């Protein structure tokens, strides 16, 4: 007769696991691995068969999941519970709590600073990653607007705004992020530069004051008080005029400006001592920009194809949890060769924040020059192998502060520390004039090595992965090792206990198991016999019935109670001990948070520079010379995207000097390459301002403050404006904000639609007026590239004869009816747009093309355009001539006119 004993213990993660469906009668959800012992009573032979631990291996969940009996799992070394303030910070504090807990942040109803001392009031809104700001200056009575800029958690852009504006009062919404409030209060400054903002008062306004629609109406209402707006304008015309001054698609900026208008009006900023009827004067709206950033708006990003989203080809990437898009053919996509996610993110930030800091750009150029050299290719490959293991440690450290770091987080942090140490060793081989290498070599100190070494000595990553929890290596803690030895010896010990308990039971019982359950301890499990139907039948001498599950009766015996007292919860004690070690390790690592974040930032920067270098080497880019002069000299420039899509690309020069050729007027046939050339110049200037090399043989690029484009019309019904009105708004923005250091690109402005919006004469007049406005600025005229099909602009000499204007065209070779585009830029003006030739290439019928050429020739000669004859027209003419002859032959003296007309109508209908 064989008897089966089962010995089982619960592992640390089992409290998170659920048993199989058959164990639903258990008092709680749990699972266990088991050791089955078979005993033959007659021979007393003992054999052990190890169960595979089915419950443990079936379901693996993160070690941070809540256990059913978590008071059992963490009985010692438990991390202290978070304080109320910590929980509020983790879950998102109430706006009132933020206000009450911050020293000099106060509500509007509190004692606010005296308005007599206010010189500038700054309004800030950070929403969905976009930072918008505006400020009012009492000295100039101007309202300054800063267009939305992508801002990250480091708030570097916000810090520069504070430094430049030097506001006496800063206002923001009550629901703003706590980190932003700390920056506004100067609580996170580590150097003296940050202390300049400590005297600034911060006022928290109700969030309703920052509602977009309300703020938009407040800005639009300025039409009534802004000088320079004709009084006869209708309300609709005033709204259109205001849309040319304020880009309402910059949501954060509009919200900040609207709240600022209400605040200065309520506080009567600047007019405190005047009559109550006097309102705060706003004499104008101006867009301000930071001195070290090249400002590029969304229209320019789209027109130049700097970013380009397209649908992802994989259906798995199109789910609700994914964006469903990937980077398409774009400048960012071509240059992005980064190996890490943080590197790709930083490179995108460089594209979103092109710099005007010439020293910074030259530092990047030196690094790109070094990394693109073929003799350094092996070093670059080694660096890239390490960079792909650098992870975003900020998220890992954040989870560590709440004790939620997973095994994957520990592995990622260890790989980051290890590979960053190797990167530092590699960077020490690089010359010190490469700024990023010097920074890494000097700042990656022994602290980083100690962090990696500490994790390597303590964490058993293989076991941690298998058990999905933090596991400590042997030899770290003697007490922990002793507990593990005890736990590993339990199967053999419990086998002996099962045999002893079976011998004490009645001979009718042929099988029993010894198992362990959390909270209940060690139990004796006996199969339920058929005659045991009622609970009273479950009673056995010396045993205490506990529960019934899976047709097995579970009891407490004297020996199992002894095991409870002797062994306790060995596995949970091991887990608690390792958790305590993990917490101590976390504490040590969190003390070096600044070091780890600096490592991540430096590695991301290195990844970006190597990416730019690889792109430059592969596509034969050159290092541009940067200068503070307002000039542009590009020799044999190429379009970085177009050259990848064609077998042969024709390069072109671009020369704009301080007092010569500042305005280039391009004419030429359709599809001759004008738009590609315009975008090519814009992209080369943009690349130079992120520190990249450029596609040309040589280039000298003057530092540019803004790039304006009127190339691509972004139509949307939500704007409520026509296509031509959108174009006008784009040009108006350039006219109002462009400086001598700006680059303005205008492609075929003024064509409109002749029957709906604008006539050809109107378009030509508008374009001429705009260009003459810029020419009147002389050498302060912005760098202008204009393409047009208004050939009258040149032929009628509508622009003044000045060295500032250069007329150029795309070279075309015509031989009879054949036309060949050479895509080469030459001086001069095009005679024709060759529209009919382009139409023939598009597949229009020859009959239509001949008629179009006929109308064009008649128009050019100022002759009337007659209707085209057809076969039906010729037949109709013959009938008309016959009728005329009959009328001429009519003799009114001898014939009846009425009879003649009746006969004529009958015969006409018959014909």
Q: What is the average per-residue pLDDT within 101-109?
A: 34
User: Which pLDDT score is estimated for 618?
Assistant: 96
pLDDT band at residue 716, thresholds of 50, 70 and 90? low
- What is the CATH number for 739? 3.40.50.300
Distance CA 354, CA 689 (A): 5
Whether 809 is covered by a domain: the verdict is yes
Whether 450 is covered by a domain: the verdict is yes
pLDDT band at residue 240, thresholds of 50, 70 and 90? confident
Q: Domain boundary residue among 264, 288, 312? A: 288
Q: Are 171 and 259 in contact (CB under 8 A)?
A: yes
User: Which pLDDT score is estimated for 869?
Assistant: 62
Pairing of strands 783-787, 743-747: parallel
User: Which pLDDT score is estimated for 851?
Assistant: 79
Which among 151, 146, 158 has a CA at the least distance from the CA of 128? 151
Least trusted range by pLDDT, from 239-253, 312-326, 408-422: 312-326
Q: What is the average per-residue pLDDT within 413-433?
A: 94
Bridge partners, 509 (sequence order): none
Which residue range forms the structural domain that includes residue 536?
Answer: 478-579
Gap between the terminal Cα atoms of the chain = 120
pLDDT per residue as tens digits for the range 858-881: 776 777 777 766 656 677 778 888
Q: What is the average per-residue pLDDT within 120-128?
A: 91
Q: Where are the alpha helices (DSSP H) in 433-551?
A: 435-443, 446-458, 461-467, 478-488, 490-504
pLDDT per residue as tens digits for the range 797-851: 889 999 999 999 999 887 777 778 899 999 988 777 777 666 776 777 877 777 7
Least trusted range by pLDDT, from 190-199, 278-287, 383-392, 680-689: 190-199
Distance CA 179, CA 133 (A): 17
pLDDT band at residue 63, thresholds of 50, 70 and 90? very low
- 702 and 575 within one domain: no
Q: How many CB atoms lie within 10 A of CB 277?
A: 5
Distance CA 537, CA 555 (A): 13
- 886 and 737 within one domain: no
Buried b (16+ CB within 10 A) or exposed e, 435-461: bbbbbbbeebeebbeebbeebeebbbb
- What is the CATH number for 133? 3.30.420.110
Higher-scoring residue by pLDDT: 33, 449? 449
Whether 810 is covered by a domain: the verdict is yes
Q: Are 785 and 655 in contact (CB under 8 A)?
A: no
Q: How many CB atoms lie within 10 A of CB 427?
A: 21
- What is the CATH number for 526? 1.10.1420.10
Q: Are 606 and 436 in contact (CB under 8 A)?
A: yes
- 173 and 266 within one domain: yes
Q: Are 309 and 328 in contact (CB under 8 A)?
A: yes
Token pair 């996610």 is found at: 341
What is the CA angle 711-712-716, rounded to 5?
150
- 651 and 599 within one domain: no
User: Which pLDDT score is estimated for 16?
Assistant: 29
If one counts the domains in the chain, the total is 5
pLDDT at 576 > cutoff 80: yes
User: Which pLDDT score is estimated for 460?
Assistant: 95
Whether 708 is covered by a domain: the verdict is yes
**Which helix or strand (DSSP H or E) is residue 146 part of?**
strand 142-150
CB within 8 Å of 118: residues ≥ 6 apart: 138, 168, 169, 267, 269, 270
Q: Which two tokens stand for residue 357?
A: 């800091």
Q: Are 782 and 743 in contact (CB under 8 A)?
A: yes
- 757 and 709 within one domain: yes
Task: Classify residue 694 by its DSSP letter.
Answer: B
| Alpha-carbon torsion angle 287, 292, 297, 298, nearest 10 | -140
pLDDT per residue as tens digits for the range 880-904: 888 888 888 888 778 888 888 888 7
CB within 8 Å of 671: residues ≥ 6 apart: 821, 838, 841
pLDDT at 123 > cutoff 80: yes
pLDDT band at residue 198, thresholds of 50, 70 and 90? very low
- 668 and 797 within one domain: yes
Whether 58 is covered by a domain: the verdict is no
User: Which pLDDT score is estimated for 67?
Assistant: 34
Q: SS3 string of 729-741?
A: HHHHHHHHHCCCC
Whether 51 is covered by a domain: the verdict is no
pLDDT per residue as tens digits for the range 580-604: 999 999 989 988 888 898 899 999 9
- 242 and 124 within one domain: yes
User: Which pLDDT score is estimated for 458?
Assistant: 95
Whether 2 is covered by a domain: the verdict is no
- 523 and 655 within one domain: no
- 223 and 139 within one domain: yes
Tell me phi and psi for residue 386, to 5 degrees. Answer: -80, -40
User: Which pLDDT score is estimated for 777?
Assistant: 92
**In whole numbers, what is the pLDDT of the chain averaged over residues?**
78
- 594 and 458 within one domain: yes
Token pair 């058929």 is found at: 530
User: Which pLDDT score is estimated for 834?
Assistant: 72
Distance CA 634, CA 621 (A): 12
pLDDT per residue as tens digits for the range 511-551: 888 887 877 888 888 888 888 888 787 888 888 888 888 88
Distance CA 406, CA 652 (A): 56
Distance CA 524, CA 6 (A): 9
User: Which pLDDT score is estimated for 122?
Assistant: 93
pLDDT at 374 > cutoff 90: yes
Whether 451 is covered by a domain: the verdict is yes
- 707 and 790 within one domain: yes
pTM: 0.69
Q: Which two tokens stand for residue 128?
A: 């969905």
User: Which pLDDT score is estimated for 115?
Assistant: 40
pLDDT band at residue 270, thresholds of 50, 70 and 90? confident
- 629 and 767 within one domain: yes
Q: Are 218 and 280 in contact (CB under 8 A)?
A: no
User: Which pLDDT score is estimated for 466?
Assistant: 93
Bridge partners, 787 (sequence order): 666, 747
pLDDT at 562 > cutoff 50: yes
Q: SS3 string of 777-845?
A: CHHHCCEEEEECCCCHHHHCCCCCCCCCEEEEEEEEEEECCEEEEEEEEEECCCCCCCHHHHHHHCCCC
């Amino acid at each position: 007769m064989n008897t089966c004993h089962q010995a089982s213990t619960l592992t640390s993660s089992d409290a998170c696991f659920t048993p199989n469906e058959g164990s639903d009668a258990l008092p709680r959800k749990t699972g266990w691995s088991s050791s089955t012992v078979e005993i033959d009573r007659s021979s007393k032979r003992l054999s052990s068969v190890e169960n595979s631990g089915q419950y443990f291996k079936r379901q693996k969940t993160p070690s941070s999941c809540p256990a059913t009996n978590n008071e059992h799992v963490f009985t010692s070394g438990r991390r202290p519970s978070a304080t109320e303030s910590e929980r509020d910070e983790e879950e998102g504090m109430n706006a009132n709590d933020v206000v009450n807990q911050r020293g000099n942040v106060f509500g509007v109803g509190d004692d606010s600073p005296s308005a007599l001392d206010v010189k500038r009031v700054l309004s800030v809104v950070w929403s969905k990653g976009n930072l918008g700001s505006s400020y009012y200056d009492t000295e100039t009575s101007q309202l300054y607007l800063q267009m939305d800029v992508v801002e990250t958690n480091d708030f570097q852009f916000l810090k520069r705004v504070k430094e430049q504006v030097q506001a006496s009062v800063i206002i923001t919404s009550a629901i703003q992020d706590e980190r932003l409030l700390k920056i506004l209060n100067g609580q996170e400054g580590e150097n003296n530069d940050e202390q300049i903002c400590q005297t600034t008062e911060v006022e928290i306004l109700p969030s309703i004051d920052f509602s977009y629609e309300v703020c938009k109406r407040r800005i639009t209402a300025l039409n009534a008080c802004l000088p320079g707006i004709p009084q006869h304008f209708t309300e609709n015309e005033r709204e259109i005029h205001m849309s040319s001054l304020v880009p309402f698609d910059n949501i954060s900026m509009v919200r900040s400006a609207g709240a600022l208008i209400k605040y200065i009006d309520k506080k009567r900023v600047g007019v405190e001592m005047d009559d109550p009827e006097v309102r705060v004067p706003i004499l104008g709206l101006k867009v301000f920009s930071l001195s070290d950033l090249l400002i590029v708006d969304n229209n320019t990003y789209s027109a130049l194809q700097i970013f380009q989203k397209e649908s992802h080809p994989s259906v798995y990437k199109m789910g609700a949890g994914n964006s469903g898009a990937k980077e398409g053919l774009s400048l960012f996509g071509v240059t992005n060769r980064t190996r890490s996610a943080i590197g790709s993110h930083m490179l995108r930030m460089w594209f979103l924040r092109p710099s005007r800091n010439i020293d910074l750009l030259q530092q990047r150029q030196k690094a790109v020059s070094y990394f693109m050299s073929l003799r350094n290719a092996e070093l670059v490959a080694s660096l890239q192998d390490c960079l792909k293991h650098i992870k975003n440690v900020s998220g890992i450290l954040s989870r560590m502060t709440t004790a939620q770091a997973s095994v994957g987080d520990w592995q990622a942090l260890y790989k980051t520390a290890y590979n960053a140490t190797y990167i530092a060793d590699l960077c020490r081989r690089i010359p010190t004039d490469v700024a990023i290498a010097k920074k890494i070599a000097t700042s990656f100190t022994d602290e980083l090595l100690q962090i990696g070494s500490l994790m390597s000595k303590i964490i058993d990553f293989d076991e941690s992965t298998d058990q999905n929890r933090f596991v400590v290596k042997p030899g770290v803690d003697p007490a922990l090792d002793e507990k593990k030895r005890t736990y590993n010896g339990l199967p053999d010990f419990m086998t002996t206990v099962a045999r002893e308990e079976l011998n004490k039971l009645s001979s009718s019982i042929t099988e029993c198991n010894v198992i362990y359950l959390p909270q209940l301890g060690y139990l004796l499990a006996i199969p339920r016999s058929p005659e045991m139907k009622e609970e009273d039948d479950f009673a056995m001498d010396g045993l205490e019935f506990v529960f019934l599950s899976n047709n097995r009766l579970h009891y407490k015996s004297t020996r199992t109670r002894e095991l409870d007292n002797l062994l306790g919860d060995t596995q949970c004690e091991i887990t608690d001990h390792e958790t305590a070690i993990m917490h101590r390790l976390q504490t040590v690592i969190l003390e070096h948070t600044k070091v780890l974040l600096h490592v991540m930032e430096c590695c991301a920067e290195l990844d970006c520079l190597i990416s730019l270098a690889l792109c430059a080497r592969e596509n034969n880019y050159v290092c541009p010379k940067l200068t503070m002069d307002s000039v542009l000299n590009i020799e044999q420039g190429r379009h970085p995207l177009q050259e990848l899509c064609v077998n042969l690309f024709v390069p072109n020069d671009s020369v704009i000097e301080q007092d010569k050729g500042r305005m280039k007027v391009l004419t030429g046939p359709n599809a001759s390459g004008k738009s590609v050339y315009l975008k090519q110049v814009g992209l080369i200037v943009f690349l130079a301002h992120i520190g990249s090399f450029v596609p040309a043989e040589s280039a000298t690029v003057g530092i540019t403050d803004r790039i304006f484009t009127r190339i691509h019309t972004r139509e949307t019904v939500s704007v409520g404006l026509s296509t031509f009105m959108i174009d006008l708004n784009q040009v108006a923005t350039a006219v109002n904000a462009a400086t001598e250091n700006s680059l303005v690109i205008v492609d075929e402005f003024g064509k409109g639609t002749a029957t709906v919006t604008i006539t050809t004469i109107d378009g030509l007049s508008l374009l001429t007026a705009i260009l003459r406005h810029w020419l009147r600025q002389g050498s302060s005229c912005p760098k202008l590239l204009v393409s047009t099909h208004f050939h009258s602009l040149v032929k009628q000499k509508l622009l003044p004869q000045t060295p500032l204007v250069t007329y150029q065209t795309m070279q075309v070779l015509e031989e009879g009816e054949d036309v060949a585009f050479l895509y080469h830029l030459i001086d001069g003006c095009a005679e024709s747009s060759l529209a009919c030739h382009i139409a023939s290439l598009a597949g229009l019928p020859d009959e239509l093309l001949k008629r179009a050429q006929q109308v064009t020739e008649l128009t050019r000669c100022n002759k009337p355009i007659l209707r085209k004859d057809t076969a039906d027209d010729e037949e109709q003419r013959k009938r008309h001539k016959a009728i005329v002859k009959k009328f001429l032959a009519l003799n009114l003296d001898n014939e009846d006119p009425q009879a003649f007309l009746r006969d004529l109508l009958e015969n006409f209908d018959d014909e």
